[in-house]
Structure formats: C-alpha cells, structure tokens
C-alpha cells in the first residue's frame, strides 16, 4: 500500500515538474505581441514567389482542412503549374504532398478560391507576358483538374478572390495598362460567371483579401497613381437583392471601413504609419485571446509585402488596427498565407529578388521568442 502511495505521489510530482518545465511560453493576458515560428515544414516545391493558394472545406471565416499552393516563378524565371497540399500536423506543423499539376501554362499572380472541397485557379501572367483569363477546377477528392468557363471580364493579374458559401468572387487587378475595380461571381453549380456589384474603392492591384463571417474584406494594394492606397472595404454578398446584383453599387454590399492611414481627426489612427502596402498577405484567426486593450476574439493579421516585416492585427469587431511582433524572417513580397484549423501560416514569396520556400506560423498569444 505504501509503495503504491509512493509511486502515485512520484508520478504526480513528475508530471507537474515536466509540465512546468515545458511551459517556457507562459500566457500573460494582454501582454503578448505574438511569436512567429520559423521552422514549419517548408513549401515542398522549388522556392518561388507570386504563387497562389486556396483552402478547401472552409468555414465562414476562411479556415479549412488543407491548403493548396502552386504556380509562381523561381529565381530562373521558370513559371510553374505544379501544386502542393499542406495539412496541419502536430510534429512539424504542416505535412506536404505533391498533387496533380494544373493544366494550362505556368503562370504568376493568378487568383485562387475554394468552394467546399473544390479549388479554382485562373487569371495571371505567363512567361511570354500574356495576360490570362483561363480557369481550372481542382477536385480534392479525385486529385483531378478540369477546365471551367473562362473569366468573362478583362484578362488580368494580381486580382483578389475569395470563396463564400456556394460561390467564388473575383475582382480588382491589373493588365499591364489598366487597373480594375469590377467584381464577378462564379457559380460552380452552373459553371457560370456573373458581373456582381462593382468594388466601391479605388481601382487597384496587389491588394489583400480575407474572409470573416461570410463577408470578404479587401484592403490596401496599388492604385492607379502607382502608389499604395489606404481605403478598406467589407463585402457582404448576402446583402445584394437578387434583382439588383447587376447594378453597380446598387446595394449595401460594399461597406466603407476605417482608412488605414492617419487621416481622421480622432486619435485611434495616429499610429497607422505603415499598414498600407502592396504584395502583402493576410490571414484570419478567430480564437485569439490577446489583442487591443487585452480583448480577444476574431482578428486578421496583415504582414510582409512592400512595407516590410511589420505585422498588423485587425480587430474585426472594433475596426481598429494594432501592431504585433514583426515577421521574423526577412520580409517576403507576393507570398501565400492561409488558415488551417484556426492556425495561420505564411509560405513562399520573394525575399529581395530571391524566391523562398520557408514557412512560418504565427502564434498571436505567445511571447516573442527570437530563437524559434
């Protein structure tokens, strides 16, 4: 009996001490600025930038079960058609697999979105600088690609796209001469495109889009003047009456949010020094514990691109931005970001003129640790 007590007690002490020792990163409410973990399993394909990604089986907040990343350009100007699947794992954060190559030509600056278990990729720029409008569907269940209806708007690259419920939405972009502000809806069940309510902000390319609560957010990018733009909008597809979808700006589908530079007379935006940028990435995490004034909740994180490594948290409930721990690798332009099971990742991109394959995961509730 006594021996039993001893072993029981020893086990308890043992577990407690192991737990205490392994909790190097303790949680202190309101004080974390977050930690970028730099040793996530790297992108499986050749290092590259200007790739595209989509996340299948998304909830209404853009978080899904697997991400697919492909196309883009390497350091030798080779443009790719290959695709790779990333799935969350516990030991290396991500496990990769190489899936079927996309049909069509190798390209950069394409767009991708997913509806259910199917991903859609199209538009972009090929190695002969042709601006593209072809579109392909990837079926994750069968690992097959098929051509679908081409984009009916002007061919373009550096547009934004997102999937919400049963539809995909694509808009903005650039074709080498003109910047665009039109928005289109793709209906997978009919394999058909329809022009949707025009984006009410400045026409732009290389903007950033993310999805929360079945609404699309489009922010920053390069405007017609060639400089970065500071206007920010929220798109609510379900607020468009069925008989008005074709009327530009007819419905309350585009809501103007706070500008991302210090333009108001209030003080909330006094610190908005370098949120605006191009070629950046963003991802949403819904269960963040820390944040502005210690309030948690749903946040989008914007990082990298032309403004460098600075990372901004967008608090969706309050429409306010605050700084977080800067991206801990050299800044990457035209990278790919995605959310899997509420975990945010950034992969690929151009560091200076070199494409990279490194992948980082952001832990918003951890304390900055420069060792990992």
Partner 1 sequence: MSSRKFLIAGVIVLVVIAFYAAYIGQQKREFALSQQAKGMVYVEVLPIQTALGWGYEIHVDGKSYIRQEFVPAVFGRRGFDTKEQAVAVGNKVVSNINSKSSPAISIKDLEELGIPIKASDTLQKK
Residues that bind partner 1 (CB under 8 A): 2, 5-6, 9-10, 13-14, 17-18, 21-22, 39, 41, 44-47, 82, 84, 89, 91-92, 95-101, 103, 142-147, 357, 371-372
What radius of gyration do the chain's Cα atoms show? 22
Partners of 174 in the β-ladder: 157, 179
Tell me whether strands 83-88 and 111-115 are parallel, antiparallel or unpaired.
Answer: unpaired
Least gap, CB of 305 to partner 1 (angstroms):
24
Least gap, CB of 335 to partner 1 (angstroms):
16
Least gap, CB of 280 to partner 1 (angstroms):
25
Burial degree of 328 (CB within 10 A; 0-12, 13-18, 19+): middle
| 336/219 Cα distance (integer angstroms) | 16
Residue 286 or 359: which CB sits closer to partner 1?
A: 359
Residue 149 or 255: which CB sits closer to partner 1?
A: 149
Q: Is 306 helix (H, G, I), strand (E, B) or coil?
A: helix
Residue 144 or 249: which CB sits closer to partner 1?
A: 144
Q: Is 349 helix (H, G, I), strand (E, B) or coil?
A: coil
Maximum separation of any 2 CA atoms in the chain, in Å? 84
Least gap, CB of 110 to partner 1 (angstroms):
17
Long-range contacts of 353-356 (CB under 8 A, 24+ apart): 353/75, 354/47, 354/75, 355/46, 355/47, 355/48, 355/49, 355/72, 355/73, 355/74, 355/75, 356/47, 356/49, 356/329, 356/332
Least gap, CB of 299 to partner 1 (angstroms):
28
Residue 60 or 103: which CB sits closer to partner 1?
A: 103
Least gap, CB of 351 to partner 1 (angstroms):
16
- What's the token pair of residue 133? 């409008």
Least gap, CB of 122 to partner 1 (angstroms):
14
Partners of 162 in the β-ladder: 169
What one-character DSSP code corresponds to residue 368?
A: P
Q: Is 364 helix (H, G, I), strand (E, B) or coil?
A: coil
Residue 89 or 249: which CB sits closer to partner 1?
A: 89
User: Which residue, chain included where needed, has tokens 């585009």?
Assistant: 254
Is 260:283 a contact under the CB 8 Å cutoff?
A: no
Least gap, CB of 113 to partner 1 (angstroms):
20
Residue 323 or 357: which CB sits closer to partner 1?
A: 357
Residue 130 or 142: which CB sits closer to partner 1?
A: 142
Residue 92 or 166: which CB sits closer to partner 1?
A: 92
């Amino acid at each position: 009996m006594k021996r039993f007590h001893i072993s029981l007690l020893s086990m308890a002490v043992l577990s407690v001490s192991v737990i205490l020792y392994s909790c190097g990163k303790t949680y202190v409410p309101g004080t974390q600025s977050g930690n970028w973990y730099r040793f996530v399993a790297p992108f499986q394909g050749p290092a590259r930038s200007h790739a595209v990604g989509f996340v299948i089986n998304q909830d209404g907040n853009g978080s899904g079960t697997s991400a697919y990343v492909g196309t883009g350009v390497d350091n030798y100007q080779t443009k790719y058609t290959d695709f790779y699947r990333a799935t969350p794992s516990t030991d290396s954060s991500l496990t990769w697999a190489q899936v079927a190559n996309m049909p069509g030509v190798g390209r950069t600056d394409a767009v991708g979105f997913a509806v259910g278990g199917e991903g859609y990729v199209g538009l972009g720029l090929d190695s002969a600088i042709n601006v593209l409008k072809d579109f392909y569907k990837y079926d994750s269940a069968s690992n097959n690609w098929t051509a679908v209806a081409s984009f009916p708007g002007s061919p373009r690259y550096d547009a934004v796209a997102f999937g919400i419920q049963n539809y995909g939405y694509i808009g903005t972009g650039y074709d080498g001469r003109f910047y665009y502000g039109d928005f289109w809806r793709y209906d997978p069940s009919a394999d058909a495109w329809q022009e949707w309510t025009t984006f009410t902000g400045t026409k732009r390319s290389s903007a950033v889009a993310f999805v929360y609560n079945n609404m699309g957010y489009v922010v920053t990018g390069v405007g017609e003047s060639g400089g970065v733009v500071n206007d920010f909008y929220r798109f609510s597809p379900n607020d468009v009456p069925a008989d008005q979808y074709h009327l530009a700006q007819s419905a309350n589908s585009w809501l103007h949010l706070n500008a991302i530079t210090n333009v108001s007379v209030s003080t909330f935006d006094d610190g908005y020094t370098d949120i605006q940028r191009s070629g950046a990435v963003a991802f949403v995490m819904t269960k963040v514990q820390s944040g502005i004034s210690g309030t948690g909740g749903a946040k989008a994180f914007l990082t990298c691109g032309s403004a460098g490594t600075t990372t901004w948290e967008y608090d969706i409930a309050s429409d306010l931005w605050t700084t977080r721990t800067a991206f801990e690798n050299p800044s990457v332009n035209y990278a790919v970001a995605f959310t899997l099971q509420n975990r945010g990742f950034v992969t690929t991109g151009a560091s200076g003129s070199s494409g990279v394959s490194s992948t980082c995961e952001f832990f918003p509730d951890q304390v900055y640790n420069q060792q990992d």
